[in-house]
Amino acid sequence: MRDGWPSSMLACSSGVPRMTIVIGVVSQKGGVGKSTIARLVAREFAALQWAVKIGDLDISQATSFKWRSRRLLGAVEPDVPIEQYGRVDQALKNAGHLDMLVLGGAPHATQATHQIAQRSDLVIIPTGLAIDDLEPGVLLAHDLTKAGIPRARVAFALCRVGTSDNEIADARRYLTDAGYLVLAGELSEKVGYRRASDEGRAATETRFSSLNASAERLAQSIVSRIEELSQRAA
């Protein structure tokens, strides 16, 4: 696994019991990288030998469920178990044996989106750089915080970005000005990421070291945020 991961996040791989960490990945609209982020998180912790599962609540698309089929056909390791659920309570019912459960919601701010956020230790909202992506994402974040979700538990991940550093900086400023954490690192709009997904691979498993490094930076930022929130709760 990667160097630099917080040591306390490795606890369960050594057999020390811990409560299940729940990560919610939600969005106001489709096509912003929600499934990509869910797979990235689950794959990185599965590589640490954590007991991880993705709970795919977007049953109309089931993109992560289909992705795992391609992963199994390609014999890609580590395995990333994925199960479809119609309701959040069903996904949580048998999560006690897991170290981490990643809940992927359907697009739009549905009741299930709120339920995911309420039960998650960290809520990740993926977004592109266009105002058409940023504005709905912020509206969703505002909706969740108004419903009682602590602002500290909400974080944005930049996905499908272009090559303009200025555009990326502008997007980060927009989200920060709205009052939300923006995770370090971003996933660019690259053929390599799409090809990896077609092969049942996560964003850190492409054929290009530069793309893997970018995805690893984002994954590390997610881990660090989980660590920070865990320390606050201790």
Tell me what pLDDT residue 111 has: 86
In a domain, 190, yes or no: yes
In a domain, 5, yes or no: no
Range of the domain at 155: 18-233
Tell me what pLDDT residue 2 has: 38
In the chain, how many domains are there?
Answer: 1
In contact, 106 and 58? CB cutoff 8 Å: yes
Across the chain, what does the average pLDDT equal? 89
In a domain, 6, yes or no: no
How many Cβ atoms are within 10 Å of 114's Cβ, its own excluded? 18
pTM: 0.91
In angstroms, the CA 53 to CA 70 distance is 16
Which CATH number goes with the domain that contains 181?
A: 3.40.50.300
In a domain, 3, yes or no: no
Tell me what pLDDT residue 110 has: 78
In a domain, 4, yes or no: no
In a domain, 2, yes or no: no
Tell me what pLDDT residue 16 has: 37
What residues of the chain score a pLDDT lower than 70? Answer: 1-18, 109, 234
In a domain, 194, yes or no: yes
**Per-residue model confidence as pLDDT tens digits over 168-217:** 999 999 999 999 999 999 999 999 999 999 999 999 999 999 999 999 99
In a domain, 170, yes or no: yes
